[in-house]
Amino acid sequence: MRSGMTRETQSALQQNMDGIRYDLLTSIGKDVVTARNELAARALDRNAPYVLWSDSDAWWPAGTVRRMLNTIERRSDIDVLAGYFGGRDHFSPAFCWRDFNTENTWSNAENFVDPGRNCALGDVVRIEKTGCHFLLMRREALERVGPAPFTLITPQWSEDFALMFRALHARLGLFVDTGAIVAHIDDQGRAHVPGYPPGQIVHNKLVHPRVFERPTGPRQLGPERSYGLPTYGA
């Protein structure tokens, strides 16, 4: 976290963890690479079999975490399972790609996982790249990507994609659960999920407007943000 978590994330942690026992590990005010590497090391100090990464601006409905745990427990081919989330953008696509080399632009939309076009909503789909907005990993998977897994490799890749590269190099199975919908909360408190207009979390429920504008023309996939000055390394 840069300063703290959104109230929507607090609500999800308090009400939507499905009765699952968990330890909450946080880091505040550090650059994102340092923070996530430290959190990875702290997570490995615990004896828990799974690590769930969540950004401080995520919201997920009740049943989401239990669904993802059930999926990863019954599927030995899944080492890393992403929730179904997108950017802070009107009708954003999901931030998960079948090809690692796909750039984060609308011109490469054919490689986004897109229910209704290249899979069905609710499918668990193999991918090669995703963000860490909401990501469930086996403990063994985190061990296999090695120490400091978020350290940047090139200036073109974020710390999320550096982790994905290491996961692929370790031959881990990366998947997204398109039925585990997770909202991305923007600075105005609007809740964004793939393929929908911005909504809001009201009484711990995601509510979409009845009237909205359809997207037109080229758009950004969410505003750029600064998470501190990272370092680069192998």
Please work out, in degrees rounded to the nearest 5, the angle formed at the alpha carbon of residue 183 by the alpha carbons of 179 and 185. Answer: 175
Report which of 121, 137, 133 is spatially closest to residue 175, judged by C-alpha positions.
Answer: 137
Tokens, residue 174: 């990366």
What is the distance of C-alpha 136 from the center of its chain?
A: 9
Give the E-state strand segments of the chain in sequence order: 50-54, 58-59, 80-84, 96-97, 124-126, 129-130, 134-138, 174-181, 183-185, 191-192, 200-202, 205-207
Residue 233: pLDDT band (50, 70, 90) is very low
Total domain count for the chain?
1
Tally of CA atoms within 13 A in the half-sphere of 97 that contains its CB: 20
How confident is the model at residue 105, as a pLDDT? 53
Q: Coil, strand or helix: which one is 142?
A: helix
d(CA 197, CA 234): 39
- In a domain, residue 52? The reply is yes
- Please state the rounded mean pLDDT for residues 208-225: 61
Domain membership of residue 234 (yes or no) is no
Q: Is residue 145 part of a domain?
A: yes
Inside any domain, residue 231: no
Which band of pLDDT confidence, cut at 50, 70 and 90, is reported for residue 226? low
CA dihedral for 51, 22, 113, 156, sign (positive or negative): negative
Residue 223 has pLDDT above 70, yes or no: no
In a domain, 217, yes or no: no
Length of the chain: 234
- Structural domain including 52 reads 7-207
Query: How far apart are alpha carbons 166 and 163 in whole angstroms?
Result: 5
pLDDT digits (tens, 9 = 90+) for 4-37: 999 999 999 999 999 999 999 999 999 999 999 9
Report which secondary-structure segment, H or E, holds 68: helix 64-74
The string of pLDDT tens digits covering residues 85-101 is 998 888 888 899 998 88
Question: How many Cβ atoms are within 10 Å of 230's Cβ, its own excluded?
Answer: 17
pLDDT number for residue 215: 59
Average pLDDT, integer, range 68-83:
98
pLDDT at position 155 is 83
**Does residue 99 lie in a domain region?**
yes
Q: Please report whether residue 56 resides in a domain.
A: yes
With respect to residue 218, please indicate whether it lies within any of the assigned structural domains.
no
Cα 168–chain centre separation: 17
pLDDT at position 228? 57
- Lowest mean pLDDT across 122-136, 164-178, 213-227: 213-227
Higher local confidence (pLDDT), 3 or 49: 49
pTM score of the predicted model = 0.89
Residue 196 sits in a domain whose CATH number is 3.90.550.40
- 106 pLDDT band, cuts 50/70/90, is low
